[in-house]
Structure formats: C-alpha cells, structure tokens
Chain A
Amino acid sequence: MRSPARSTRRFGSQVLQLMHDTGHAMFMLLEAAYFMRYAFSKRSRTETATQMFTTGIKSLAVITVVALFTGMILALQTGLELRRYGQEVYIGSAVAVSMIREMGPFMTGLIIAASVGSAIAAQIGTMTVSEEIAALEVMSINPNRFLVMPRLVALIVMMPLLTVYTNILGILGGALVGATQLGVSVQAYMDNATQFATNKDLYVGLFKAGVFGIVITAVSCHQGFMTTEGAVGVGRATRRAVIISFLIILVLGYVITRLFYI
C-alpha cells in the first residue's frame, strides 16, 4: 500500500508538471501567433503553402466518407423517431443544424487530429530526438517561427474550410437517406433545412473549427518538442498528441456551445 502522503506528493508533482507543460505550450503558441504576420514572407511562404496543401489534401478521402455517413446516420436516427409523429420532414433541420453547429467541426477536428496532428507530433518528435531542433537553435532559427507558425496558419485556415466541406456532405447524406428511406423529397428536406439553420449556427461552427485547429497545432507541436528517448518516445508523443487533442476538442466543443446558446 502506498502511503497517503506519498500519493499526495506524487499527485502534486503531476499537477505542477501539467501546469509547466501548459505554460510551455501557451508560450509556444503565442510566439507562433506573433510570427503569423511573416507567414507569407519570402523565407516562410513555401513552407506555409506546403503545410496548407498537405493539411487540406491528406484527410480529404476520410473526411468525405465520415461526413456522408454522419449525415446519413443522423437522418436515419432522427427520421425513425420523427416518423412516429408523422414529422419526417423535420430531418432537414435536425441534420443541418446538428451538422453545422456540432458534428461538422467535431468530426473534422477528430479526423484532422488523428491524421494531421499525429503526423506533426511524429515529425517534430523525430526532429527533436535526432538533434535537428538543437541544430536549428544553433543556427539561430526559431523553431516556433520555422516549424510551428506554418502549421498553425495551415490548420487555422484549413479547419474551417474542411468543416464547410464536411457540413455540405453531411447534409447531402441526410438528403439521400430522407429521399430513399423516409419518403422526404430533396426539395422538402432542403426547404426545412434552410428555414431553421441560422447564420449564427454557421459562425459558431466555424469558430469552433478554428479553435480546434489551434488546439491540434499546439498539442501536437508541443508533444513533438517534449519528445525524449528515441523512436519509442516518438511513438509515445504521437499517441499522446492524438488523445489529448481528442479530449480538449470534446470539452471545448461543449463549452463553446454552452457559451453561445444559453
């Protein structure tokens, strides 16, 4: 049995470590944000463009499938319930509002964290253990400008764009299920959707997407920089980057909805 005093001390030091890490990640993020004004300067623009391209392209296939099926599941699930009251046509608004406000940014965030975030953590982690980060420092090249900033720009721009794409496909998936399984014409579905989904829903959704982009960059880069102990460490950093991003996305998704809708 571990003594209570020792467990408390252990817990205490873990809390301190967490605060230290969070502070470190925040500093990194702020500095990268400061350098964003150089995103398209001569020495950074190639890297920024490359990051935007890979972020946008890398997960497009997965996002397409996930978005379609999310919309289809939402439509089927709510449609079956609504049919009991003869109100199937309301799947239009049910799917559109939940996609735009919640599911779109949420699904996109999870997929980007798993694909792009993990790749960032693995790459920066590898650079850390093979002394490439140290080499940058010796050359007086700030890693936060050189590595973090282009990724931050890419994710802040691409997350909302990809979320719009997810939303559109999700709503289309819902229309498909409505027309084929529930007898709701595409016309009626769209009318109902546009009647209830507001601009506010869209803005809040896109705001969320941008915030998730910042979270994924910060967590993944930070885990990469904290990597120790060679290849094993890189694996650990990658896994932690994905798990921590998932958790923060989940919690922040709730908090932001709560802030704007109550």
Chain B
Amino acid sequence: MIRFENITKALGGKTVLDRISFEVSEGETLVIVGLSGAGKSVTLKHMIRLMQPDSGVVMIDGESINDLGRSALQVTRTKFGMLFQSAALLQWMSVKDNVALPLREHMKISEEEIEKRVASKLNLLNLSDAGDKFPANLSGGMQKRVGLARAIIMNPKIVLYDEPTSGLDPVTSRRIDDLIVDMRKELGITSVVVTHDLHSALFIGTRIMMLHEGRIVENAPPEEFIRSKNETVQSFLESQYITKKGKWETGLSHE
C-alpha cells in the first residue's frame, strides 16, 4: 500500500534519510520509533509528498507519487488522513468548524449531515463539550484529539499519526491507542504511527520500525522487536524498562 524505495533526503546540509526502503501493507499498523531528530516526521511527510525525496521512489497503491500532477496528487491525498505533531488546527475557527472543514470543502452534503458527522467524531474522541471552543483555549492534548477528529472525518483508508499521544494523560492515551486498534480491526484502516511511547507501540503496532542515524535499524513485529539483537534497539528498550523477559500484551496477541 505504501512503499519506500531507497529514499534519501538531506535537510539543512544533513542526510536525514539515507537510502530507506520499507513497505506497509493494507490493514497494517506500522509504528515508527526513534530518537528525537531521527527523521520520523520527515518520513511521514514523504508519504503524502509534503516533502520530496532527493532520490528514490515513494509508491502508494503501486503508483509512484514522485511526479504526480496536481490533480492526481489531490486524488492520492484523499486516501489519507494525517494528524500533525503540532495538531495544526486553524486558529480562527472553532473546534466544530475545524473538524467540519474537509466536509465543507469537498462534500456536497447538507449542513445537518455535516453537524451529525462532526458530532459523532467529537463524541468518539471525548470532545463533545469542546465543539464551540477555539484551539487557543484548548490544552495540547485536546488539540491533538481535535486534529485526530479532523484527520478521520473523511473516513480515509490510511491514517498517519505523528505522536498522537504525546502530551496526553495516560488514560486518554490508552483511549487513543484503543481507537487506533479498533480502526484497524473493525474498518481495516492502514496506519502509520510515530511515537516515543514503546508501551503504546507494542500495543497498537503490527510492526515496529526503528530509525537511527538515517537508517532503519530494526523492522519487525512487536514480539521480535523486543528480542532484537541490535544494540540501538536494546538501549532504546531498556530506557523504557522493557526487557525481553517481561510479558507485554501486544495488539496481535489478543486477536
């Protein structure tokens, strides 16, 4: 569904991605982990051509998006929903209007229908009371959830999450994790999730990929990932008190 072939990207004179290749198949949840500055957000941005690779090809549904024209690119982008690391809500619009924006822009449906769809997504993310507030008056965690509501309002096939649970309390974080798992199991949504939280990575991911110094150092299902021989992966695991011996519930294990 998403395939990177030898993607190289330099930014600010530094090679951020160095000949990266990987694939995400339909219905998978790929979790990308790595230290700050490892290029996780840059990788996500390549998937919808917010950034263009210096070399290499990004394939979506078997088609290179490198040279798509504007309208073809728009069609490809309708397959995606994206939650940005900074939530990226429009400041002058209320929560409701932010979430309704893609519907208003692209769908010829009645205002009642829009209200209904928006309300159901806000409800799903526990935001029912925040509809009339403005982004500036929301906590960071609430902004994230509004961003998520907006990302999934058009029911995309693929959802990209850039740190969906950073800045959220543990209870809400688990709720978001559950939502990501539910979307995969019930709707067959393909997801790519960037996170620093290994506990949630192990829970939601069908595969975990670690980026380090421009390369992929590990790309494996959760059970294998925690047993990785790679030193970078091991020290990353240890930093979050995850050991090979520990028994971790994963998204796959309770299927």
Contacts and interface: CB of A to CB of B under 8 A. Distances in A.
A131 B41 CA distance: 12
Given A131-B88, A132-B88, A138 B82 contact: yes
Interface magnitude class on chain A: 10 to 19
A127 B77 CA distance: 20
Contacts of B77: 137-140
24 contacts: A43-B105, A130-B86, A131-B84, A131-B85, A131-B86, A131-B88, A132-B88, A132-B91, A134-B45, A134-B50, A134-B84, A135-B82, A135-B88, A137-B50, A137-B77, A138-B77, A138-B80, A138-B82, A139-B101, A139-B102, A139-B150, A140-B106, A141-B101, A141-B105
Given A140-B74, A140-B106, 8 more contacts: A132-B89, A132-B90, A134-B50, A138-B48, A138-B80, A138-B82, A139-B77, A140-B105
* 3 nearest A-B residue pairs (beta carbon): A135-B88, A131-B88, A140-B74
Interface of B: 45, 48, 50, 74, 77-78, 80, 82, 84-86, 88-91, 101-102, 104-106, 150
Contacts of A126: 91
Contacts of A131: 84-86, 88
A248 B212 CA distance: 48
Contacts of A134: 45, 50, 84, 88
Interface string A109-129: 000000000000000001100
A39 B220 CA distance: 51
Given A135-B82, A135-B84, A43 B74 contact: no
A159 B165 CA distance: 47
A43 B104 contact: yes
Contacts of B88: 130-132, 134-135
Given A132-B90, A134-B50, A139 B105 contact: yes
Contacts of A130: 86, 88
Interface in A83-134: 126-127, 130-132, 134
A134 B102 CA distance: 14
Contacts of A127: 90
Nearest to B50: A134
A140 B78 contact: yes
Nearest to B85: A131
A140 B104 CA distance: 12
Contacts of B102: 139, 141
Nearest to A50: B92
A206 to B, nearest CB: 31
Contacts of A43: 104-105
A139 B101 CA distance: 9
Interface in A190-236: none
Nearest to B80: A138
Contacts of B45: 134
A17 to B, nearest CB: 17
A248 B225 CA distance: 60
Contact of A138 (B50, B85, B90, B104): B50
A140 B102 CA distance: 8
B92 to A, nearest CB: 8
Contacts of A135: 82, 84, 88
Which of A127, A134, A139, A141 has the largest number of chain B CB atoms within 10 A? A139
Interface string A136-157: 0111110000000000000000
A80 to B, nearest CB: 50
A127 B90 CA distance: 8
B75 to A, nearest CB: 9
Nearest to B160: A138
